[in-house]
Amino acid sequence: MTILVAGLGSDQGADRFGWEVIGALETFVLPALVTLVACRSPAELTSLLLSSRYAIIIDAFLGMGPPGHLSIIDPDSLEDFELCGGGGAHGIGVVEAIQLARALGYPIDHCQIIGLDVTKPDMRLESAWVPMAVSKILAILTNHLQIC
Amino acid sequence: MDASPELVPTRDIDIEVPLLTRVEGEGSLEFTARNGHIEKLQLCIFEPPRLFEKFLEGQDFTEVPHIAARVCGVCPIAYQMTSIRAMEKVFGVPENPWVHAMRRIIYYGEWLQSHALHINLFAAPDFLGFGDALEMANRFPEAVRRGMQLQSLGNDMLRLLGGRSVHPIGLRVGGFHRAPTKHEVSDLVDKLLAAHDMVREFAVWAVALPCPDDEQDYVSVAIRHPREYGLNEGRLVSDAGLDIDFSEYPQHFREHQVAHSTAHYSMMDGRSYFLGPLARMNLNFDRLPLEIQDFARDLGLVFPARNMFRNVAARVLECYLAIVDSLKILQGYKLPTRPWQDFTLRAGVGHHCTEAPRGMIYHRFEINDRGRVIAATMIPPTSQNQARMEQNLHVAVERFGLAHSDDELRDLCEKVIRNYDPCLSCSTHFLKLRVNRA
């Protein structure tokens, strides 16, 4: 069982956030049990969660600002956020993918979502946002690995 | 699905489905019936033109695979592979055996993830009477979990050679940018071995799903190869006598516009035709490994099949094929001297077809002597299937009986359309009906 770090996104503007964070994390030497995945669609997420013991999901969301604000989102309150990857391919969004994993026995408290507030769908991805998220994720991973 | 006499309606029906909600595009369905007969039944795709063929003009050939991948988020390999092979025809690059085998692996990965997703999350809830996959997962968690594992394995296969499953970057004209290490291949072989029994269980379950009978008269078109199950190479054949080189595609297949759809309709020698897993299985069953042929017979499957819902069985047999053939290739894996072949740029026109998960895709590329694209044509399977889908709907709805309720008619239409696994039918609840009865 791995520790999953999954970045959701697309190649459009600030929605690239999830993929860019994964790209940045790939430049670090991480423990072998950490799996980094840039997700093409939330439909991939369920099976990835099911093969992990702990997961960090990264996505951009349309919030009230300020742009670039990072939030740790509780999976149970995910429906209150308008995630950029929310609709997803095939009608399966992040919410549905996580609900499906939960229905299949995935312990939802083993999952954290890091959301970047991009405020508007056409927002540019600012270069400072990615390292900020990378630092946060590395801290979470370090903490988690120490506990384990 | 035969209509009983009491179901012949005495009323007129006007049903409009204003929005087929989906991710890869938008469309609607409307039909009008008078005196017990359908007057109009149109699948309207109103997705705006995406202009990728125009974007490619003037681009260097090295950029084409990356741009072509963006046409479809679900099957980027189909677009990359077909464009690469068409350009290789221009440059005179023959496929060496290593490249040929690895291309099958990555394409199988795309088939496996796409088919497993479709059967597990979109088709099965239809046939088992669940509103969606989540509802089904609460009742049949093990079955859903198994499908998710196969989908995940398909993505692993994509990553092995594509570098990532998001718009893979591993493919290039001549082969691949990088050869997987033996260790990476060994890890995947272990997963494929573990999935062998799982895919057989998946197949038994999928074939037993209570699918409707929908016998139809149609023409199957698919790639056929002298030795392999048609995928990346071969000739284009049909069960109506077509047997052509890919370069002859424009002489037999013609696109035309219709007022109600932004997607072009395509006809083969003046008639509609059918693409996809069932068409492939109808024309290539004898190219499956004997292990899979015997397994299919044991399940009572016979191909060619006329029941359109045998598409589910064909899909699941292709999942099985993806695992068996990938194991055969990767268990004998050897690192190549170099994962691509050299070539010299030259001007010309190249045509190629491959089998996307949803059916055959055709590309034509005209390249100048500096390797830049002069013109590109890319014809996806969904638009080629559009005319057939409408005919399928027409026959299925009339047989079912127009006196059924709107919900029942909508349910049937959803099943029929979703059975093609077109990009436009991707969501689990995609038909919103507005009904006007005279």
Write down the pLDDT at residue A26. 93
Burial B355-388 (b: 16+ CB within 10 A, else e): bbbbbbbbbbbbbeeebbbeebbbbbbbbbbbbb
What pairs with residue A7 in β-bridges? A38, A58
Find, in chain B, the residue whose alpha carbon is nearest to that of A48.
B152
- Residue B363 near residue B82, CB atoms below 8 Å: yes
∠B167-B262-B82 over CA atoms, to 5°?
A: 35
Pairwise CB contact (< 8 Å): A89 & B151: no
| Six token digits for residue B356 | 């996307």
| Residues of chain B numbered 219-238 and touching chain A (CB < 8 Å) | none
Find, in chain B, the residue whose alpha carbon is nearest to that of A99.
B134
Dihedral through CA B199, CA B152, CA B72, CA B101, nearest 10? -60
Write down the pLDDT at residue B4. 45
Q: How far apart are CA B57 and CA B54, in angstroms?
A: 5
Write down the pLDDT at residue B20. 43
ipTM of the complex: 0.78
Task: Check CB contact of B137 with chain A, cutoff 8 Å.
Answer: yes
What are B305-354's pLDDT values in tens digits?
999 999 999 999 999 999 999 999 999 999 999 999 999 999 999 999 99
Which residue in A38, A44, A91 is closest to B427 by CB distance? A91
B chain contacts of residue A92, beta-carbon cutoff 8 Å: 121, 133, 428
Read off the pLDDT band of B48 (50, 70, 90): low
What pairs with residue B366 in β-bridges? B349, B375
Q: How far apart are CA B354 and CA B78, in angstroms?
A: 7
Write down the pLDDT at residue B409. 85
Write down the pLDDT at residue B46. 66
Q: Is the dihedral of CA A74, A78, A83, A86 positive or negative?
A: positive
| Residues of chain A numbered 47-66 and touching chain B (CB < 8 Å) | 47-48, 50-51
DSSP state of B363: E
Q: At residue B245, does pLDDT exceed 80? A: yes
- The residue among B228 and A42 whose pLDDT is bigger is B228
Direct distance between the N- and C-terminal alpha carbons of chain B, in angstroms, rounded to an integer: 25
Q: At residue B438, does pLDDT exceed 50? A: no
Write down the pLDDT at residue B403. 84
∠B252-B255-B256 over CA atoms, to 5°?
A: 135
Pairwise CB contact (< 8 Å): B137 & A104: yes
Read off the pLDDT band of B185 (50, 70, 90): very high
Q: At residue B210, does pLDDT exceed 90? A: yes
Report field, pTM of the whole predicted structure over 0.90: no
Span A54-83, average pLDDT: 84
What are B116-147's pLDDT values in tens digits?
988 988 889 889 988 788 888 988 999 999 99
Q: At residue B21, does pLDDT exceed 50? A: no
What pairs with residue B237 in β-bridges? B222, B243
- The residue among A84 and B175 whose pLDDT is bigger is B175
Per cent of chain A over pLDDT 90 is 39
Write down the pLDDT at residue A63. 81
Task: Choose from A96-100, A121-125, B75-79, B250-254 the range with maximum mean pLDDT.
Answer: B250-254
SS3 of chain A: the string is CEEEEEEECCCCHHHHHHHHHHHHHCCCCCCCCEEEEEECCHHHHHHHHHCEEEEEEEEEECCCCCCCCEEEECHHHHHHCCECCCCCHHHCCHHHHHHHHHHCCCCHHHEEEEEEECCCCCCCCCCCHHHHHHHHHHHHHHHHHHHC
Write down the pLDDT at residue B324. 98
Instruction: Please confirm whether the linkage preceding B304 is cis (ω < 30° from 0).
Output: yes
Read off the pLDDT band of B432 (50, 70, 90): very low
Q: At residue B27, does pLDDT exceed 70? A: no
Tokens 């272990």 identify what position?
B190
DSSP state of B43: E
Q: For residue B429, which phi and psi values (nearest 5 degrees)?
A: -125, 95
Read off the pLDDT band of B113 (50, 70, 90): very high
A chain contacts of residue B427, beta-carbon cutoff 8 Å: 90-91
- The residue among B227 and B35 whose pLDDT is bigger is B227
Q: Provide the mean pLDDT of chain A.
A: 86
| Six token digits for residue B419 | 């059975």
Which residue in A19, A51, A91 is closest to B22 by CB distance? A91
Q: How far apart are CA B345 and CA B70, in angstroms?
A: 25
In single-letter form, the type of residue at position B183 comes to H
Q: At residue A90, does pLDDT exceed 80? A: no
Instruction: Please confirm whether the linkage preceding B65 is cis (ω < 30° from 0).
Output: no
Q: Provide the mean pLDDT of chain B.
A: 87
Q: How many residues does chain A have?
A: 148
What are B390-423's pLDDT values in tens digits?
899 989 988 888 888 878 888 888 888 888 887 6
Pairwise CB contact (< 8 Å): B151 & A47: yes
Distances (CA, A) of B162 to A16, A56, B60, B375: 19, 24, 20, 26
* Residue B404: Cβ within 10 Å count: 16
Write down the pLDDT at residue B425. 32
Read off the pLDDT band of B24 (50, 70, 90): very low
Read off the pLDDT band of A89 (50, 70, 90): low
Span A15-19, average pLDDT: 89
